Structure 1
Amino acid sequence: MAPTLAAVAALPSLRLLLRSDASLDVPVRWVAVSELTDPTPFLEGGELVLTTGMRLDDADTYVARLVGRAVAGLGFGVGLGHDRVPESLVGAARRHGLPLLEVPRPTPFVAIGKAVSRMLAAEQYEDVTRAAKAQRELARAALRGPDAVLAVLARVLRGWALLLDPAGEVSHAAPDSARARAAEVAVELPRLASAASLALPGPIVVQPVGLGRRPRAYLAVGTPDQLRPVAHTVVGAAVSLLSLRSETSEHRVREALGGLLLGTPPGFPEEPVRVLLCGPDTADALEGDPAADRCLTVPHGALTAVIAPDAIADRIAALAVAAGPVGVGDPVPLTGAVRSLGQAERARPGEGVRRHSDLPGGVLGQLGDPAREAAAQLLTPLDPVLRASLHAYLAHHGQGDPAARALGIHRHTLRHRMRRAADLLDRDLDDPTARAELWIALTLTDGPTPP
C-alpha cells in the first residue's frame, strides 16, 4: 500500500505545514511538479502535485480540476513567486476538500520526491517480503494437505477460501463458514472455460486448479478489499501448489498401485521398517533433513505416523520429538506396518521418545493405556525422591540395607521415607498384594529398573 499524505507530511526533514482542513489519510502514489494552469492531462490520480503558483490565476478552477483528477494533495512552495500561500488558494482548497501543504523555501521539491520514492520502495519491499513469507508458509502447508493451504491463505489475506470440485461442490473451506459462499461461486464456474480467472463482486477471485485442460478443482478467495498485486501473487502460489499436489498425488497413487501389483512398490522405505507415532507438526520438524526423504509421513487422526527404515529410525525420532512425544514400533516388513503402528501407539509416552521394546514384556506388556493411567494416578502423591526410594526398596524385595546402599543413603533415612510413602499412598508395604500393586505401577510408568 502506498504511503499516506499524513505520513509524508509528518517527515520532520521536509517541514511541511498543513494549510487546509482536509483529511490527509489518502495514499500518495507519486510526486508531480508542474507550473501549468491545468496539469491534469499529465496526471493519473493519486499524485502529490507541487507548484510555486507561477501561473496561478483562477485558484478555484485550478483546485477543482485537481480534485476532479483525484490527486492526493497539493504542495505550494513559498519564497519564490509568493511569500506565503495565497488566501484564494487556501479558501478554494477548503471549499473543495483538497489537502493543501505549504512547502517552505529551504525544502526543495526534489527532496519531497526522493522521500516519497523511498517510502514507496519500502512499501514495495515489505510487500515482497510479506509475499515471500506467505509463499513459504503455503509450501509447508501443502505438505499437510489442502485444508492447511486454505487455512494459511484465508489468514494471510484476512478473508476466506474455498476449494470446489469440478462439479462446484465444496471439498475444503477456510473458515468453515465460507461454505455459505459456494453457491454464488459455483454458478459462475462455466465462465472459466474462456478465462484464466474470474473476478466477482465481493470482491471474489476464482482460479482453476490443475495442469491439464480440464480443471481438477477451483480455488475461490474472498477478501474485504480488492486484492492488491501482492495478494494476487500469494493466490497464484496457492493455485500452483494445489495444482502440483493434485497432479503428483494421482501419479504417485497410480505408480504405487502398479508397483504393488508387480511386487516392486516404488518409493517405499527399504525394509525392515519401523512406524513412529509423532506429534501433528512432525512434517515441519523433519523438513530439510535428507533422512526424511527416505520415509513416508502419513496423517493418523490428530497425530502423524512416519514409516521409516529401521536403520534411520533413531535419527527420525530425534528430529520428530521436537513436535511432541514419539512412540516407536518394532522392526517389521512393509506388510507388517499396521502391527508396528499399534506398537508405536502403546509405546508413545507423555514426553520424549520410547520404543515398544522398552515396555515391560509378558503380562505387563499386554496392559494398555487405562492401566498406565491408573498407575500414574496411584503414584501421584509421591515426589521424585520418594518414588525412586520406593522403586529401589521394592526392587530389593523390601530389604532396607541393600536398598539404602543402592540409593547411597542411610538405612534410617530409607525407613523414614518408606513410612512417609506408605502414609501418602495409604498402603501397607508389608502386605505382598500392596507391594505387587506398587511394583506393577512403577514398572508401567518408570520401567522395570529403578532410576
Structure 2
Amino acid sequence: MPLTLSALTGNTDLRLQVKHWTRETDPMVTGAHVSELLRPSEWLAGGEILMTIGLLLPVTVTAEDCRSYVRDVKGGGAVALALGLGSDLPHQSVPRTLAEAAAAEDLPLFGVPEDVPFIAITSAVYKALVADERQSLDRLVDLHKALTFSAASGGGLEAIVATWTSATNIGAIVTDPLGLRIVTSDTVGAQPTDEMLRDLANVLAPKGLRSAMKTTIDDIPLEIQPLGTTRLRGFVVLVGNAGSRMPVAITALTSILALEFERRWLSSEPDRHQRARAFQRVLVAESESDAEALLRASGLTGEEFRCIAVDPGAGAAADLVADLSLTIRGGLIRHTNGGPVEAIVMADADIEQDLRRFAPNLAAGIGASTTPGTLAASQAQAVAALVTSRNLGHPVTYRRGFTQTWLTNATDLEMAQTFSDAVLAPLSNADPSGALLATVEAWLTANCQIDPAADRLHVHRHTVRSRLRKIEQLIGQPLDQLDTRVELWLALTAKGRTTQTTRTRHHSKKTKTQPRGGI
C-alpha cells in the first residue's frame, strides 16, 4: 500500500510529535528530504516530508518570517515539516511562532525527538516506498499471469477483458478498426456511446499503430490504445482513471489483445480460403438462383451486390486482405498471386469510405451494382475501373456513363484493350468459341434487326434470339436500352482496334527479321 502520513506517524520507532495536523486529509508520502535553506521549495519535487533542525530559524524568529518559510515549504509540494529537536540543536522544542504559522497555512508539523536521527525517518520512508513498489510489481505480475491464462484458456477477447476489469476495476471496450464494438466489459458508471467510438476510430485509424490517445468526453475519462502487431486490427478503449502505475499493465493488456487478434486471424485462414473459392463459384454460377444460394450460404443476403478490385502494393496483399476482412463484414475476398485483391460486397456498403481509410493511395476499381447472377460483369467492370484508377490516382467507380469517361482517359492501347475485356469478358468466358461475340456484333451491325443478323451469321433467326437472351443474362443489362448497345459497340470497336494493332506489330516484327537483299 502507498505510504501515507498517518502510517508514518504511526511508526512507534520514530515517535514523531504532532504539533499541527487536522487529519482531515491523509496525504501520500513520496520521499524524505533534509534542507536548512529558508527557501527550500526549488529543491522539492512534491510529496516529501521536509526535515530541518531550523539552523536559520532562531528562537526569536518573527511570526512573519515563519509564515514566509512555511508558505515556501508548502508551495514546494511538501506534505509535512519535521523539526529536529535536541539539547545540542538550535531548538529544544517547536517554536510557538512556527506552530502558529503551520496552523495558519495548514501544513502538518512534527517534532523529531533528540534520539531519533533524520536517517531513521528517511529509511522508514524509503523502506515503505520499496515495499509498496514491490507489491505493485507483484500485482502487475499477477495481472499479467491472469491475462495470459485468460488468453490461453480459449475464452478469447471476452475472457481477457473480463479478467482485466475484475483485477483493475477499469472498464474496457474492444472495437474493430471502424470503431464497432466487439467486446464490452461490465463497467460501473457511464460508457462512451457507439457514435463516440465511431468518431474516435475515424480520427485515429489513419494513424495506424501510432494512434494512442487520452481524452475526456462528456466527463468520461478515456484512454484509447491501438491493437495489432504490424497492422491496425482494432482498438481497446479504457473507461476510467488509470493510476500512475497503470502504463505497464495497459501495455500488457494491449499486447495480449493484439496477439489474440492475430490468433483469431490465423485460425480463420481455412474459412478465408473457403470464401475465396466461393467467390469464384459465384462468378461462374450457371443461374441466378445458384449464385444467390452461394452468396446466402456465405452470409451475404440482399438483392444486389458489387465487386471491387484493389492493387495491394508491393508484398502487402496479405495485410490488405486482413484489413478488408475486418472492415467488409461478410464480404467474399480473394487474391491471386500477381493480381489485385478482389471482393464481393453488399451494394449498399460504403466501400469507398473503407478504401479511403484502409487502402489509402492504392488504386481501386468498384464495379456497378448488379444481381447475383451477373456479378461476373461487375467483377470485370471493377478490373476495368482499376486500370483507370491507376492513372487518376484515386478509387474509380464503374457507373452508367463510365464508358465515355473511360475512353476519354484511355489514350493508350492497354486501356482500350482493358475496357474491351471488361465489357465483353462475360461473353468470352461463357462462350470461348466466339459465337456470342459474333452474334452481338452482327446484330448491332444490322441495326439491331434479327433477320439480317441471322443472314450474316448463316444461322436461323431463332438461334439469334436465343443467343441475345443469353447475352442479356450474362451482362445483366437489357439489350433494348441505348446505353447497353453503345457500350457493346464501343467495346467491340476497341477489341477490333487492339486486334488490328497486334497483327500490325506482329507483321512488322516479321518484316524486320527478313534477310535483306536477294538474287
Choose from 160, 166, 174 the match for 2:177. 166
Residue matched to 2:266: 251
Residue 125 of structure 2 corresponds to residue 120 of structure 1 = no
Residue matched to 1:310: none
**Structure 2 residue matching 1:203: 3-state secondary structure:** strand
1:195-206 correspondence runs (5 A)? 195-201=210-216, 202-206=220-224
Number of aligned residues: 259
Choose from 221, 228, 244 the match for 2:238. 221
C-alpha displacement at 1:164, in angstroms? 1.2
C-alpha displacement at 1:257, in angstroms? 6.7
C-alpha displacement at 1:241, in angstroms? 1.0
User: TM-score, normalized by length of structure 2?
Assistant: 0.47
**Structure 2 residue matching 1:124: 3-state secondary structure:** helix
AA partner of residue 87 (structure 1): R
Measured in 2, the distance between the counterparts of 1:20 and 1:177 equals 39
Residue matched to 2:149: 140
Are residues 186 and 45 of structure 1, via their aligned partners in 2, closer, same or farther at CA, if it must alter by over 3 Å? farther
Measured in 2, the distance between the counterparts of 1:192 and 1:14 equals 56
Instruction: Return the index of the structure with the highest Cα Rg.
Output: 2
Counting aligned pairs with the same residue, the percent is 27
On the 8 A contact 1:90/1:100 being kept in 2, the answer is yes
Residue matched to 2:119: 110
AA partner of residue 203 (structure 1): P
Residue 159 of structure 2 corresponds to residue 152 of structure 1 = no
On the 8 A contact 1:77/1:105 being kept in 2, the answer is yes
C-alpha displacement at 1:177, in angstroms? 7.3
Residue matched to 2:21: 21
5+ long unaligned stretches in structure 2:
278-519
1:4-15 correspondence runs (5 A)? 4-15=4-15
C-alpha displacement at 1:252, in angstroms? 2.9
C-alpha displacement at 1:178, in angstroms? 7.5
User: TM-score, normalized by length of structure 1?
Assistant: 0.54
Residue matched to 2:476: none
| 1:370-428 deviation digits (Å, cap 9, x = unpaired) | xxxxxxxxxxxxxxxxxxxxxxxxxxxxxxxxxxxxxxxxxxxxxxxxxxxxxxxxxxx
Residue matched to 2:139: 130
Measured in 1, the distance between the counterparts of 2:205 and 2:113 equals 55
C-alpha displacement at 1:187, in angstroms? 2.5
Measured in 1, the distance between the counterparts of 2:122 and 2:270 equals 60
On the 8 A contact 2:41/2:77 being kept in 1, the answer is no
C-alpha displacement at 1:123, in angstroms? 0.3
5+ long unaligned stretches in structure 1:
263-451
Measured in 2, the distance between the counterparts of 1:200 and 1:116 equals 34
**Structure 2 residue matching 1:161: 3-state secondary structure:** strand
| 1:250-278 deviation digits (Å, cap 9, x = unpaired) | 1232158769999xxxxxxxxxxxxxxxx
| 1:153-212 deviation digits (Å, cap 9, x = unpaired) | 112221211011111111110117788414434423314644442111243211011112
**Structure 1 residue matching 2:14: 3-state secondary structure:** coil
Measured in 1, the distance between the counterparts of 2:56 and 2:102 equals 17
Q: Give the CA RMSD over aligned residues.
A: 2.4
On the 8 A contact 2:225/2:237 being kept in 1, the answer is yes
**Structure 2 residue matching 1:62: 3-state secondary structure:** helix
Residue matched to 2:73: 66
C-alpha displacement at 1:77, in angstroms? 0.7
On the 8 A contact 2:15/2:112 being kept in 1, the answer is yes
AA partner of residue 264 (structure 2): S
Moved more, 193-202 or 148-157: 193-202
Residue matched to 1:448: none
Measured in 2, the distance between the counterparts of 1:176 and 1:36 equals 49
Are residues 177 and 97 of structure 1, via their aligned partners in 2, closer, same or farther at CA, if it must alter by over 3 Å? closer
Measured in 1, the distance between the counterparts of 2:276 and 2:206 equals 38
Residue matched to 2:294: none
On the 8 A contact 2:191/2:239 being kept in 1, the answer is no
Measured in 1, the distance between the counterparts of 2:37 and 2:22 equals 23
**Structure 1 residue matching 2:155: 3-state secondary structure:** coil
Measured in 2, the distance between the counterparts of 1:192 and 1:108 equals 58
| 1:92-151 deviation digits (Å, cap 9, x = unpaired) | 111111011111110000010011110000000000000111111111111311111111
Measured in 2, the distance between the counterparts of 1:258 and 1:185 equals 31
Are residues 166 and 132 of structure 1, via their aligned partners in 2, closer, same or farther at CA, if it must alter by over 3 Å? same
Choose from 101, 125, 128 the match for 2:110. 101
Are residues 236 and 31 of structure 1, via their aligned partners in 2, closer, same or farther at CA, if it must alter by over 3 Å? same
**Structure 2 residue matching 1:19: 3-state secondary structure:** strand
